[in-house]
Amino acid sequence: MDSLTYAFFGLGLVAVILSVIMLFARTPITGALSLLGIMLTIAGMYGLMQEHFIAAIQLVVYAGAVMVLFIFSIMLLNLKKEVLDFKLMSPSFLGTLVACVGLFVLLVSQLGLHFESYNYLVPQGQFTPQAVVDLGGNTKVLAHALFSQYYLSFEVISLALLVAIISAVVLAKRKFD
């Protein structure tokens, strides 16, 4: 394995560790900052795969705008640290932990078998590397597909984000009244 593979797996390991920290965080701001770290490591993974445009979008949209919205919402709602009756050694937690680890091992083994048996002769779609170059580059092809073929999906997602923002403001206003 080369150094890029080690870096990729290192970033993956950091993302997994941050996700565990996020799940067991005692305060909402710690969870949000762990999620920010996950978004940054995912952007790094995209960068290692030579997908620089997607890495930049990951940084700008998710690590930038969405995380600012999350942290703003947490501060606006003024979430306090709650006392939880969560016990790490309860039978339900241990059963869930065993089930999750078993599911993870099964998933990884099946993915390994799939990629071992896969002959890597993947049929290419309509956007071969030469077709992308002929059309003017990755950004032009992506923008054309996003704003023509996937326009409705793009608008529905923006509408859903608008509804989420309005809902957060209504909930925060209700708490202050």
How much is the average pLDDT of 116-135?
Answer: 67
User: Coil, strand or helix: which one is 122?
Assistant: coil
How much is the average pLDDT of 126-140?
Answer: 77
Residue at 148 is within a domain: yes
Q: Read off the tokens for 18.
A: 């941050």
What is the pLDDT at residue 117?
61
Which residue range(s) make up the domain with 145?
A: 125-177
What is the pLDDT at residue 78?
67
**Chain segment 26-83, per-residue pLDDT in tens:** 788 888 888 888 989 998 888 888 888 888 888 888 888 888 877 777 777 765 655 5
> Residue 77's domain is classified under what CATH number?
1.20.120.1200
pLDDT at 84 over 60: no
The confidence band for 168, taking pLDDT boundaries of 50, 70 and 90, is confident
Residue 44, judged by CB atoms within 10 A of its CB (0-12, 13-18, 19+), counts as buried
Per cent of the chain over pLDDT 70 is 82
What is the pLDDT at residue 173?
73
**Chain segment 92-117, per-residue pLDDT in tens:** 777 878 887 887 788 777 767 766 66
Residue at 44 is within a domain: yes
Asked if residue 130 and residue 61 are part of one domain, the reply reads no
What is the pLDDT at residue 131?
78
Q: Distances from the Cα of 115 to the Cαs of 92, 104, 111, 118, in angstroms?
A: 34, 17, 6, 5
Q: What is the dihedral of CA 73, 74, 77, 81, to 10 degrees?
A: 170
**CA–CA distance, 159 with 157 (Å, rounded to integer):** 5
Residue at 131 is within a domain: yes
- Please give the mean pLDDT across all residues of the chain: 78
Residue at 109 is within a domain: no
Residue at 111 is within a domain: no
pLDDT at 85 over 80: no
Asked if residue 66 and residue 6 are part of one domain, the reply reads yes
Confidence (pTM): 0.52
**CA–CA distance, 114 with 101 (Å, rounded to integer):** 20
How many domains are there within the chain?
A: 2
Q: What is the dihedral of CA 163, 53, 148, 123, to 10 degrees?
A: -120
Instruction: Examine the fold and report which residue of 47, 82, 117 is the final residue of a domain before the chain moves on.
Output: 82
